[in-house]
Each structure stands twice: as structure tokens, then as C-alpha cells.
């Protein structure tokens, strides 16, 4: 993932999380907001409560890999903040990727949105 596609600024994180729509499943919480750019941007967060730095970086790499494998299906000029949940820890990579794809495929359904 190129640096151009990453949300790192704290103000951007807060803006997207406060104004954006929220999608949830057992493994992820995803906030999304339009960015008026021709590409998507992604921010990834893994809580310190889930594990040490080695563990958190491992899961960040997995999430970036899932994004890279499926990003051509979701180019729509949106910022995404992806937060890993505790339920993801008991799943392997394939199950996590399946949850990721199901969450993004259901992103147009109203029952997953929260304001």
C-alpha cells in the first residue's frame, strides 16, 4: 500500500470517526466517509489491549494485505478507518478476509449503519 493511500493524521482519524458512517461485524469496526479524491484512503488501528507491539504490527500487516488483495473492488473515493476487534483474534487469515469481504459487500445495506 502506497503512502498516498494511508490516513495517519490524528485530525483526519477524528473527523472520519465523528462524521463518517459505521459498519460493524465480529472482527472489525469500519468508519467510512467520502473524501472527494479519485482513490480510497485507509487508516488501521489495533488497540494496545489486544497485545504487544509485535502482535499489533502483525495484524496491521494482515489487514493491509487484505486491502491490497481486494482494493480494486472498492475504489469509490472514500476514507476508511479500520479497527480490529477482539473477536478477530480467534480467527485465521482466511476467516478474517472472509469477514472483511462480507462487511464491505454489505456496506450498502442500511442495517449496518450507525450514526
Q: How many percent of the chain have pLDDT more than 70?
A: 90
Per-residue pLDDT band for 1 (boundaries 50, 70, 90) equals low
3-state secondary structure (DSSP) of residue 22: strand
Average pLDDT, the chain: 85
CB-based contact 56:50 (threshold 8 Å): yes
User: pTM, whole model, 2 decimals?
Assistant: 0.84
For residue range 59-103, what is the model confidence (pLDDT) as tens digits?
999 999 998 888 777 778 888 999 999 989 999 999 999 998 888
CA distance 70 to 100: 9
Write phi, then psi, for 60 (nearest 5 degrees): -65, -40
Q: HSE of 109 in the Cβ direction (CA atoms, 13 Å)?
A: 9
> What does CATH list as the number for 3-98?
3.30.230.10
- Cβ(42)–Cβ(72) under 8 Å? no
3-state secondary structure at position 47:
coil
Amino acid at each position: 500500500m502506497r503512502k498516498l493511500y494511508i490516513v495517519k493524521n490524528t485530525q483526519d482519524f477524528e473527523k472520519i470517526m465523528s462524521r463518517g458512517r459505521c459498519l460493524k461485524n465480529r472482527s472489525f469496526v469500519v468508519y467510512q466517509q467520502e473524501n472527494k479524491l479519485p482513490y480510497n484512503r485507509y487508516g488501521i488501528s489495533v488497540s494496545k489491549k489486544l497485545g504487544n507491539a509485535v502482535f499489533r504490527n502483525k495484524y496491521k500487516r494482515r489487514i493491509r494485505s487484505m486491502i491490497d488483495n481486494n482494493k480494486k473492488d472498492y475504489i469509490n473515493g472514500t476514507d476508511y478507518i479500520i479497527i480490529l476487534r477482539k473477536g478477530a483474534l480467534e480467527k485465521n487469515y482466511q476467516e478474517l478476509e472472509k469477514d472483511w469481504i462480507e462487511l464491505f459487500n454489505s456496506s450498502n445495506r442500511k442495517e449496518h449503519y450507525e450514526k
